[in-house]
């Protein structure tokens, strides 16, 4: 039998030919990809081949990078003053903090480039593609943006004063409005409901502007003139004002409250009507006789605050906490108290009507605190955490009532029926329970110091 390793010259030649036919094209393709993706981009001269290059240590003032491939290049904080970058591809390039004063960026591709904090003073960006670029805090003063595409670009706090644009400049309407405000001053401008979040409005003329319900959160307002501006329901959280900002005292106070955490503020009689104070920190504040009609106090921290005789008509206190505070004599007509924490809140003398939105158990607690409870049938009533101190419950029926953590200090419960009532941790100090029926009542951890028990 012939040895399988003994091939004829013809067979060996055919096998060599087959190996070359398959191997040579594969080797050629491999070499091409190595060149295309490694050698060409990384070993080529820069410029023009500068893809992914780190140029942070290079001096580039007045250099010529026209048509250069700078995709993904790192140019952070590089001085590129008067550098020619016309038609350069800067996709995903890092130009954060770079100085591009008077740089030529005509028709440059800056898609998704990082330019945050860059100086583009007097730069030529005509026809440039800045779609999706990060342009936070960029200085565009004097920059030519005619025909530029800034769609989906992030322009938070970017300086647009003296920037040149035209009808072909693609802007989010929000940023075009900011450009109009800072470049075409107009007294009494209608900006009601405008979205001006993070807008750079430094030194803007906003005198007598209607900014009702506008969103100015995070906006730069240093040196801006808001004299006489309407700021009802305007969001001023994180807005940046300084001593040079001209704004009516009422709204400066609203801004201070919205942006500073300060307990025990003295705000007696102040006018905060129609102010946007959602989530404001007003813990233990003295707001006696304060004017808060139509104010937005959603989720505000008003724990331990004194709001006696305050005007809260139409105010929104949804999810706010007024725990252990006082609303004695407050005007709550039309107020929204949905999910408001009114535990241990003094509601005596408050003005509540059918337009006041509050839970049934809260309305009952208000009614009892204001009108008394003598002789009333309150069987099974839910009155946990209610402030019922000093209320007259003489002869009232409170069988099976839930009075956990309620304040009944000094209350008159003479001959009251409290059988089966839950009085766990209830404050009964100084209360008069003479003749009261307490069969089956739970007084666990109740405070009874000085109480007259049956």
Instruction: Give the integer Cα–Cα distance in Å for 83 and 102.
Output: 8
Single residue among 212, 228, 260 that ends a domain in this structure:
260
Q: What is the 3-state secondary structure (H, E, C) of 319-375?
A: CCECCCCECCCCECCCCECCCCECCCCECCCCECCCCCECCHHHHHHHHHHHHCCCC
pTM, entire model: 0.85
With respect to residue 268, please indicate whether it lies within any of the assigned structural domains.
yes
64 plus 150 within the same structural domain: yes
Q: According to the model, what pLDDT value does residue 35 have?
A: 47
430 plus 340 within the same structural domain: no
165 plus 83 within the same structural domain: yes
Instruction: Give the integer Cα–Cα distance in Å for 115 and 4.
Output: 70
Mean pLDDT value across residues 253-264: 96
With respect to residue 436, please indicate whether it lies within any of the assigned structural domains.
yes
Q: According to the model, what pLDDT value does residue 1 have?
A: 43
Pairing of strands 225-226, 246-247: parallel
Q: According to the model, what pLDDT value does residue 194 have?
A: 98
Q: According to the model, what pLDDT value does residue 3 have?
A: 47
168 plus 197 within the same structural domain: no
CATH number for position 172: 2.160.20
**Residues in CB range of 242: below 8 A, 6 or more apart:** 222, 223
pLDDT in tens, 52-68: 999 999 889 999 999 99
325 plus 342 within the same structural domain: yes
255 plus 268 within the same structural domain: no
**Residue 36 scores a pLDDT above 60:** no
pLDDT in tens, 301-333: 999 999 999 999 999 999 999 999 999 999 999
With respect to residue 3, please indicate whether it lies within any of the assigned structural domains.
no
301 plus 421 within the same structural domain: no
With respect to residue 25, please indicate whether it lies within any of the assigned structural domains.
no
CA angle 308, 262, 299 (to 5 degrees): 65
Reduced to 3 states (helix: H, G, I; strand: E, B; else coil), residue 293 is: coil
pLDDT category of residue 4 using cuts at 50, 70 and 90 = very low
124 plus 241 within the same structural domain: no
CATH number for position 431: 2.160.20.80
Instruction: Give the integer Cα–Cα distance in Å for 290 and 118.
Output: 46
296 plus 317 within the same structural domain: yes
451 plus 433 within the same structural domain: yes
With respect to residue 345, please indicate whether it lies within any of the assigned structural domains.
yes
pLDDT in tens, 414-423: 999 999 999 9
With respect to residue 28, please indicate whether it lies within any of the assigned structural domains.
no
Single residue among 137, 161, 184 that ends a domain in this structure:
184
Q: What range defines the domain where residue 334 resides?
A: 262-358
Reduced to 3 states (helix: H, G, I; strand: E, B; else coil), residue 197 is: coil
Number of domains in the chain: 4
Mean pLDDT value across residues 225-251: 98
With respect to residue 395, please indicate whether it lies within any of the assigned structural domains.
yes
Share of the chain above pLDDT 90, in %: 89
With respect to residue 225, please indicate whether it lies within any of the assigned structural domains.
yes
Phi-psi region of 440 (alpha: psi -120 to 50; beta: other; left: phi over 0): left
236 plus 171 within the same structural domain: no
Instruction: Give the integer Cα–Cα distance in Å for 452 and 386.
Output: 21
Query: How far are the Cα atoms of 7, 15, 26, 78 from residue 11, in angstroms, in the given order?
Result: 6, 6, 23, 65
Single residue among 151, 184, 217 that ends a domain in this structure:
184
Instruction: Give the integer Cα–Cα distance in Å for 163 and 182.
Output: 10
109 plus 232 within the same structural domain: no
């Amino acid at each position: 039998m012939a040895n399988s390793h003994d091939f004829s010259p013809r067979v060996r030649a055919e096998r060599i030919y087959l190996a070359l036919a398959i191997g040579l094209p594969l080797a050629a393709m491999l070499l091409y990809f190595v060149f295309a993706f490694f050698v060409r981009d990384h070993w080529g001269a820069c410029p023009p081949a500068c893809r992914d290059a780190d140029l942070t240590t290079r001096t580039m003032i007045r250099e010529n990078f026209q048509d250069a491939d700078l995709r993904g290049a790192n140019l952070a904080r590089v001085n590129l003053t008067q550098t020619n970058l016309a038609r350069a591809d800067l996709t995903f390039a890092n130009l954060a903090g770079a100085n591009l004063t008077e740089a030529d960026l005509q028709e440059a591709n800056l898609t998704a480039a990082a330019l945050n904090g860059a100086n583009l003073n007097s730069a030529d960006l005509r026809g440039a593609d800045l779609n999706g670029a990060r342009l936070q805090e960029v200085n565009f003063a004097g920059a030519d943006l005619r025909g530029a595409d800034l769609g989906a670009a992030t322009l938070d706090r970017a300086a647009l004063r003296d920037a040149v644009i035209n009808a072909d400049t693609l802007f989010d309407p929000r940023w075009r409005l900011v450009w109009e405000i800072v470049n075409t001053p107009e007294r009494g401008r209608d900006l009601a409901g405008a979205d001006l979040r993070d807008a750079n409005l430094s030194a803007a003329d906003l005198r007598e502007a209607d900014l009702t319900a506008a969103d100015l959160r995070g906006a730069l307002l240093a040196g801006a003139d808001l004299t006489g501006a309407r700021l009802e329901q305007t969001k001023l959280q994180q807005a940046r004002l300084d001593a040079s900002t001209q704004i009516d005292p009422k709204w400066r106070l609203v801004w201070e409250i919205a942006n500073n955490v300060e307990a025990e503020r003295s705000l007696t009689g102040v006018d905060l009507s129609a102010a946007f104070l959602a989530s404001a920190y007003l813990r233990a504040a003295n707001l006696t006789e304060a004017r808060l009609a139509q104010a937005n106090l959603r989720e505000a921290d008003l724990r331990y605050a004194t709001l006696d005789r305050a005007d809260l008509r139409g105010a929104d206190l949804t999810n706010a906490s007024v725990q252990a505070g006082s609303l004695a004599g407050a005007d709550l007509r039309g107020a929204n108290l949905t999910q408001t924490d009114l535990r241990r809140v003094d509601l005596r003398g408050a003005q509540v009507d059918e337009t006041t939105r509050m839970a049934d158990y809260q309305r009952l607690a208000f009614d009892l605190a204001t009108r008394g409870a003598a002789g009333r049938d309150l069987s099974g009533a839910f009155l946990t955490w209610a402030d019922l101190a000093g209320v007259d419950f003489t002869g009232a029926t409170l069988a099976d009532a839930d009075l956990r953590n309620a304040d009944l200090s000094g209350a008159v419960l003479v001959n009251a029926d409290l059988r089966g009532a839950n009085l766990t941790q209830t404050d009964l100090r100084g209360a008069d329970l003479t003749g009261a029926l307490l069969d089956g009542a739970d007084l666990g951890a109740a405070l009874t110091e000085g109480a007259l028990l049956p």
